[in-house]
Amino acid sequence: MTTALGRRDLLKASGAAGAAVLAGGLLSTATAAPAAAAERTWRATGVANAALASFDNTMKSYMQARNITAGSLAVARNGKLLYVRGYTWDDPAKPTTQPTDVFRLASVSKPITATAVMRLVQTGRLSLTDRVTDLLTLRPPAGQTADPRLKDVTVRRLLQHLGGWDRDVSFDPLWSDARIAGGLGVGYPLSSRDIMRYVTGQPLDHAPGTTYAYCNYGYLLLGEIIAAVSGTSYEDYVTQEILRPLRITRMRLGASLSQDTSGEVDYNSRYTGRSVIDDSGATLPLPYGGFNMETQFANGGWVGSAADVVRFCYLYDQPASAQILSSASIKTVYAKPEAGGWNGYHYGLGWYVRPVSGGQNTWHTGSMPGTYTLLMTSGGLTIAALFNQRKEGDNLNWGEIDPLLWDAADAVDTWPTTDLTSRYFPPEGWVPVRP
């Protein structure tokens, strides 16, 4: 299996929020401590398969080294779902992670948004060369002027992080609620429209199309474009045009507060933060109100199981069968951008891409407080790994899960042939019952 070298170093490039300052202001360390390793038990759920034990061993060693309490893995090969597992490394009294438990996907949401955009392009309702200013009403706050270069921001440039916004030069609007609320003189929670109004009054950091800079805000704009062009909500369009045809029923947009996260794993962070979901000023666990999950919708807002994420990739692995994106559209998704790129790989339309003989390796990672995720494909093999916490203050290489899982794949002598799709997804011809 060919590993896309350099992926392990992409945490910064792929959207991890800053560790010192986040949406509501300075962070503080929570007082509650996780269970000590001696008090934890290892549990694995789902149908075990000795032929794929290398994946179990990899997930176990990775999670135990980092004291990750909940994880999940799914593996598909040539369109068949072969392995779906839930893993727990926690106090025996704590819930056991099930294969169907859902996790926040963080920036693994970006390929989903990009696919929705390409679906609109393929059906003739949108063009990659359309200008964002022709699709959305972007007005700055009173007394401020929009950067005239906004007219050069196209749909394609938003998808490829070439829109001209650079969080390393200025700030990340999706993680700057306090700054934006103060600047606009509005209360919490912020809406996407609040963020758009504030950012439209700020200068671009680069001329559009000239500099790659990972940009969560660009994907917020894409979510708004999808809603505007489709005439329905972003979530409804993705559900109807992508998820439902693939028989994915568990995926939905996530919520900020714990009482609104039914069916999801518990998200762990050692930090607390000031609430950005109301004006109470309360100190909350960072994953539960310390940032606004609702405004993350198109850049990092989806929740789903590992099996769901792998099933989503079916439309890329088996386009003729899935009939969502054509082979020509997928080729466009993987094409090189007009600017940017690294040693042998680049960011296409919502995916990191490394061309290899006969195809390409593609992947995306995701990171937010309480979440670390990875989705990768190569040569007909698709792997998704989801975790309920991310790197916070340790010296371990969290990105090594990528090469470790490819090593696990290389260790498989004989791949099983039993397809588990029917175990985790409705049958062909399934029609949802409307309330």
Active site residues: 107
Closest alpha carbon to 288 in 368, 394, 192: 368
Q: What are the beta bridge partners of residue 47?
A: none
Rounded distance between C-alpha atoms, residue 352 and residue 32, angstroms: 37
Q: Which residues of 365-381 are buried (b: 16+ CB within 10 A; e: fewer)?
A: bbbbbbbbbbbbbbbeb
Closest alpha carbon to 365 in 113, 109, 117, 112: 109
Rounded distance between C-alpha atoms, residue 216 and residue 22, angstroms: 14
Residue 269 corresponds to which tokens in the numbers above?
């962070």
Rounded distance between C-alpha atoms, residue 184 and residue 194, angstroms: 8
Q: Could you report how far apart the first and last alpha carbons of the chain are, in Å?
A: 46
Distances (CA, A) of 38 to 34, 57, 62: 11, 19, 17
Residues 4 and 363 sit within 8 Å (Cβ to Cβ): yes
Distances (CA, A) of 366 to 1, 59, 110, 171, 191: 23, 17, 9, 19, 22
CA dihedral 321, 323, 324, 330 (to 10 degrees): 70
Please state whether 231 falls in left (phi above 0), alpha (psi between -120 and 50) or beta: left
Question: What is the DSSP code string of 111-164?
Answer: HHHHHHHHHHHHTTS--TT-BHHHHS---PPTT----GGGGG-BHHHHHTT-SS
User: Apex CA 364: angle with CA 358 and CA 367, to 5°?
Assistant: 165
Closest alpha carbon to 218 in 235, 206, 232, 230: 206
Give every CB contact of residue 259 below 8 A, 6+ residues apart in sequence.
none
Q: Which residues of 164-186 are buried (b: 16+ CB within 10 A; e: fewer)?
A: bbbbeeebbbbbbbbebbebeee
